[in-house]
Amino acid sequence: MSIPKTAPLQEKLAGMLRDWSIPKQLSGEDVFGSAAESEGSRNLRPRLEEADKIGTSICPYCAVGCAQLVYAKGNDIIHIEGDPRSPINQGTLCPKGAATFGWANNPNRITTVKYRAPYSTQWEEKPLDWAMERIAHLVKRTRDETFVPKLPDGTIVNNTLAIAELGGATLDNEENYLIKKLCAGGLGMVWVENQARV
Ligand code: SF4
């Protein structure tokens, strides 16, 4: 029942009597239908009514790999819940997985990086694009300098032992697939690991 706090007492009492189920039941209204309704409950809408797309994903937090349904309106995620079709989680999510929506939509999410130049004692705030450019440049340079096509005995290895990759548990299935493809298949890196497996 939504009655403004400033409404006069008479108006509040009228609203209570209108929505109170006992007088409605005594007057013969359906106990499980209209007698149980109030102005507030009549105006309630299903929380996913506005979703125009439902996608599937995997919870990014741990190696259990619970399946999720992701509800979106336009390009915005509006809700994430467990997928009941999954034999792993059967529609459930633990508290961490159930908080995925808050992680994806957090206005406090950090979008810049902290950078400390070689030999410097000061951290600098840098844009993410700047960091990505720098990482790409350093990876390419290191890979070019250290790539080993063959061992001295002629064994073909096509790898570099100079770069390692450690993924975080918030990387999803698809991102991990691409990272493995890029690092191991594309760059020849040997040490490709993920925190979720450590
Ligand atoms: S919902 Fe919980 S148990 Fe399932 S994958 Fe996510 S963190 Fe792991």
| Cβ atoms of 172 and 196 closer than 8 Å | no
pLDDT along the chain (198 residues), means of 10: 64 78 78 79 86 92 88 94 96 95 88 95 96 96 97 97 89 85 95 78
Q: Are strands 156-167 and 189-194 parallel, antiparallel or unpaired?
A: parallel
Quote the tokens at residue 178: 């691409």
Residues 6 or more apart whose Cβ sits within 8 Å of residue 151: 157
pLDDT at 7: 65
Closest atom, ligand 1, to C-alpha of 58: 5
Domain boundaries, the chain: 9-42, 53-104, 147-197
- Is CATH 2.40.50.100 the right assignment for the domain spanning 53-104? no
Alpha carbon distance 70, 53 (integer Å): 8
pLDDT at 146: 97
Place of tokens 């450019």: 133
pLDDT at 19: 77
Question: 88 CB less than 6 Å from ligand 1?
Answer: no
State pTM to two decimals: 0.57
Query: Which H or E element spans position 113?
Result: strand 112-115
Question: 62 CB less than 6 Å from ligand 1?
Answer: yes
Q: In a mutational test of the pocket of ligand 1, which residue from 56, 57, 58, 66 has the highest number of ligand atoms less than 8 Å from its CB?
A: 66
pLDDT at 109: 85
Q: Please, what is the Cα angle at 113 between 94 and 161, to 5 degrees? A: 85
CA of residue 19 to ligand 1 center, whole Å: 42
Alpha carbon distance 99, 93 (integer Å): 9
